[in-house]
Structure 1
């Protein structure tokens, strides 16, 4: 099962939700997909979807998922990491009116470079290929076996402190 979460930011993330729905419709994703759509206005037709999920529902779905795809909000991909998943991260972009600026792109780039424990996708047209090659790509990343939450949180705290100082 693939779990997609766009978080709770009030701007829609239709670009990601529609792309996933289209990949299922086109047969490029053959397994079950669950999407937490948040404030997206596009309504998926080919995937199970929920506007919001309770904490318990989110935790259970994260545990069950083979692949987790998130927006670039730190709490969403950190949750996936806590369950030993290497998430595919599709940051929201200002040019598509998905957020007020490109901080998700900047943060995703920084975490990928420093921690190597996420799989960033900046071009939505690369998502199908990333999902197809997930098992191969994940082997090149730091996962639960090679890193730990404490070390990650310490690095993250340092990164956030540096960003706040700027």
Structure 2
């Protein structure tokens, strides 16, 4: 199953929804697809969909999905990363009226460059190719999410010990 989320931003993200729906309609995507369409105007014809999902249902859909496709909002692509999945990230772009600026494009590029944990797709005409090659591409992009918990705990411990010597 493929799960697509465009988040809750008030500008539509019809470009992504149309592309996925068309790939499914043409048979380029054979598996089940569910779209969370948010504030978009487009109503899918070949995929299951809902405008908004309660958080618990969002988590369930992502857990069930083999592939998660998301907009470039960090919270939306961090959840599948935490589940051990490599998300396909299609950032919203100002030129298409999807956001007020291109911060999602810049952020997705930087995360991909620094960590390689996501599969960024800026132009939806590449989406079919990326989905068809997902297993290979995701395997190459997979890695450990850097965690700073240990360092934080050590530094906090040192700070507390400095404030309250024994």
TM-score range, shorter chain: 0.7 to 0.9
Q: Given the superposition, is the C-alpha separation of residues 98 and 79 from structure 1 closer, same or farther in structure 2, using an over 3 Å criterion?
A: same
**For 1:46, what is the secondary structure of its paired residue?**
coil
1:73-108 deviation per Cα after TM superposition (whole angstroms, max 9, x unaligned): 000000110111100000000000000000000000
Tell me whether 1:150 sits opposite 2:137 in the alignment: no
CA positional deviation for 1:67: 0.2
CA positional deviation for 1:142: 2.5
- Which residue of structure 2 lines up, in the alignment, with residue 43 of structure 1? 43
- Which residue of structure 1 lines up, in the alignment, with residue 154 of structure 2? none
Is residue 70–residue 88 contact of structure 1 (8 Å, CA) maintained in 2? yes
- Which residue of structure 2 lines up, in the alignment, with residue 162 of structure 1? none
TM-score (norm: length of structure 2): 0.87
For structure 1, list consecutive stretches of 5 or more residues without a partner in the other structure. Answer: 155-166
**For 1:84, what is the secondary structure of its paired residue?**
coil
- Which residue of structure 2 lines up, in the alignment, with residue 21 of structure 1? 21
Greater Rg by CA: 2
RMSD over equivalenced CA pairs, Å: 1.4
- Which residue of structure 2 lines up, in the alignment, with residue 62 of structure 1? 62
Is residue 115–residue 142 contact of structure 1 (8 Å, CA) maintained in 2? no
Mapped partners of 2:10, 2:145: distance in 1: 32
CA positional deviation for 1:151: 4.9
- Which residue of structure 2 lines up, in the alignment, with residue 106 of structure 1? 106
TM-score (norm: length of structure 1): 0.87
CA positional deviation for 1:150: 2.2
- What is the aligned length? 150
CA positional deviation for 1:58: 0.5
Superposition misfits of 4+ residues, deviation over 6 angstroms: none
- Which residue of structure 2 lines up, in the alignment, with residue 164 of structure 1? none
- Which residue of structure 2 lines up, in the alignment, with residue 128 of structure 1? 128
- Which residue of structure 1 lines up, in the alignment, with residue 82 of structure 2? 82
**For 1:69, what is the secondary structure of its paired residue?**
strand
- Which residue of structure 1 lines up, in the alignment, with residue 158 of structure 2? none
CA positional deviation for 1:141: 1.1
Tell me whether 1:4 sits opposite 2:4 in the alignment: yes
For structure 2, list consecutive stretches of 5 or more residues without a partner in the other structure. Answer: 152-166
**For 1:40, what is the secondary structure of its paired residue?**
coil
Is residue 82–residue 149 contact of structure 1 (8 Å, CA) maintained in 2? no
